[in-house]
Structure 1
Amino acid sequence: MPVKNTPNRYGWLSIALHWSMALAVIGMFALGLWMRELSYYDPWYKDGPALHKSIGIVLFGLLVVRTVWRNVNMRPNDDPALKVWERISAHLTHIALYSLMFALMIAGYLISTADGRAIEVFGWFSVPATLHDLPEQEDIAGEIHEILAWCLILLASVHALAALKHHFINRDSTLLKMLGRDAALHPAPSTIKKEAKE
């Protein structure tokens, strides 16, 4: 499998970034929900948020890498069976997902640095607080962070359901390309019928 994308499939770097970030986002959402239930005397009361912050910073770095890679690398062709509205909605969904992730992580950063303290990332390095001590910064950023997290999970769920629908119902190559399969080797049934008529 090539590193870079080709007209018919995604390269291994795009695939690795996509699936690792998808798993990390789901894990971070679950961790965030779990942390809300912790009491002050729970052993994870401090360790949970510290882990959440560290993963969040790493995830932000991966998001930057993925965004740069997406812009310098070619994008595989859409499956010929896709309708115009499906192509447009898929493109807009990707923009929304990237925008939500960036906004979510910035809100998380503002929560974590509201008191002026840096974020320690797994003890490897620290990210300094650049904007802090704003009125109710932690509370406002916290509310925004929670709303954005739910929006991201809901939109990602729709995105996943759409991919499954294309794979099992439309039987096109949309999902296969993100699994490293060559779309040219898996034409959609509708495409085959169209070519047969011609």
Structure 2
Amino acid sequence: MQWRNNQHRYGFVSIMLHWVAALTVFGLFALGYWMVGLGYYDTWYHRAPDIHKSIGMLLLALMVMRLIWRHVSPVPPPLPTHGLVTRRASKAGHLLLYFGLFAVMIAGYLISTADGVGVSVFGWFTVPASITGGSTQADVGGVIHKYAAWSLVIFAVLHGLAALKHHFIDRDRTLVRMLGR
């Protein structure tokens, strides 16, 4: 398998970055959904948020790498069978996914650092609290984080359904290119 993207398909690095990010987003969403229902005396009450924050910070780093990789190895052009509406919808959809990802992660960072303490990533290193202040930072960040996360997951499901539509109804190579075949 090739490492970089070419005119016809995605390379190994792009495919891995895509699927690792996708699985991580759904895993973090499930963890976040589960942990908001925990009681104060539950053994996971403090552990789950620490895991959630650590994975979120690693995902943020992964997404920055993914953006850099898109410039190093540009994505393949749309398939010739895709019309103007499909190309524009695809571009807009991908921009919304990226925007949603970064909105969720930045809001999560703002929640976690509202008290001026950095985010420890599994005890390996700490992401410093560079933006602190205001008594409402955690509350506003929490609202944004919640609604952006729900929007992101819903939109990611729609993204997946669109890929399945391309594969089973349009019978084109859109999905196959991201599966590495």
| Structure-2-length-normalised TM-score | 0.98
Structure 1 residues 106-185: aligned runs within 5 Å? 106-181=106-181
User: CA RMSD of the aligned region, Å?
Assistant: 0.8
Counterpart of 1:100, as a letter, is G
Which secondary structure state, in structure 2, belongs to the residue aligned with residue 33 of structure 1?
A: helix
- Report matched runs for 1:13-28 at 5 Å: 13-28=13-28
Deviations 1:31-73 (A, max 9, x none): 1100111000000000000000000000000000001111221
Partner of 2:35: 35
1:100, CA displacement in angstroms? Answer: 1.2
Deviations along 1:133-167, one digit per CA (max 9) or x if unpaired, are 31211111100100100110111111100000000
Tell me the SS of whatever aligns to 1:9.
coil
DSSP-derived class of the 1:126 partner: strand
What is the Cα deviation at residue 130 of structure 1?
Answer: 1.2
Count of residues in correspondence between the two structures: 181
Return 5+ residue gaps in structure 1 as ranges.
Answer: 182-198
The aligned counterpart of 1:93 is: 93
Secondary structure at 1:120 match in 2: strand
In 2, the alpha carbon distance for the partners of 1:79 and 1:116 equals 48
Separation in 2 of the partners of 1:60 and 1:31?
17
How much has 1:74 moved relative to structure 2? 2.3
Give how far 1:77 is off: 2.4
Secondary structure at the residue paired with 1:20?
helix
**Whole-Å separation in 2 of the counterparts to 1:98 and 1:133:** 27
Stretches (4+) displaced over 3 A:
none
Q: Find the counterpart in structure 1 of residue 12 from structure 2.
A: 12
Equivalent position SS for 1:142: helix
Give, in whole Å, the separation in 1 of the partners of 2:118 and 2:80.
49
**TM-score using structure 1 length:** 0.89
Gaps of 5+ in 2: none
Bigger Cα Rg: 1
